[in-house]
């Protein structure tokens, strides 16, 4: 398994895969990220992150059925692994811990 550090983009890709469940493939993940963040997302960056997360053991993939509308090309469907779910929980806990340590004056809206 490759390094286990989880970057911000990787984290939101994992979250998108979890949200999409069995519909998580490159294009749908990109669309979910764009919908959730309001930012344009490069499809190449999504594919790179998906494959890197699979190498780290956070995702697994399988090919879906070949569809005529896709010219017979099959989608590669990604799902979270137990390690991926643990990585998300760890990331969430670290963020909560750090947020709780910020002085309240910093958190006041200006």
Per-residue pLDDT of 4-23, as tens digits, reads: 678 999 999 999 999 999 99
Q: Does residue 80 fall inside a structural domain?
A: yes
Contact 60, 79 (CB under 8 A): yes
- Residue-wise burial string across 69-87, b where 16 or more C-beta atoms lie within 10 A, e elsewhere: eeeeeebbbbebbebbeeb
Q: Does residue 50 fall inside a structural domain?
A: yes
| CATH code assigned at 100 | 1.10.10.10
Q: Does residue 34 fall inside a structural domain?
A: yes
Quick check: 103 pLDDT over 60?
yes
Name the domain count of the chain: 1
Q: Does residue 62 fall inside a structural domain?
A: yes
Q: Each residue of 25-82: pLDDT tens digit?
A: 999 999 999 999 999 999 999 999 999 999 999 999 999 876 666 566 788 999 999 9
Quick check: 2 pLDDT over 60?
no
Q: Does residue 3 fall inside a structural domain?
A: no
Q: Which domain holds residue 40?
A: 8-107
């Amino acid at each position: 398994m490759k390094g286990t550090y989880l970057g911000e983009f990787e984290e939101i890709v994992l979250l998108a895969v979890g949200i999409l469940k069995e519909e998580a493939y490159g294009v749908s993940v990109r669309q979910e990220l764009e919908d959730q963040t309001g930012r344009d997302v490069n499809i190449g960056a999504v594919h790179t992150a998906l494959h890197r997360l699979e190498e780290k053991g956070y995702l697994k993939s399988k090919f879906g059925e070949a569809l005529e509308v896709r010219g017979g090309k099959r989608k590669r469907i990604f799902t979270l692994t137990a390690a991926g779910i643990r990585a998300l929980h760890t990331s969430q806990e670290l963020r909560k811990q750090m947020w709780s340590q910020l002085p309240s004056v910093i958190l006041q809206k200006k």
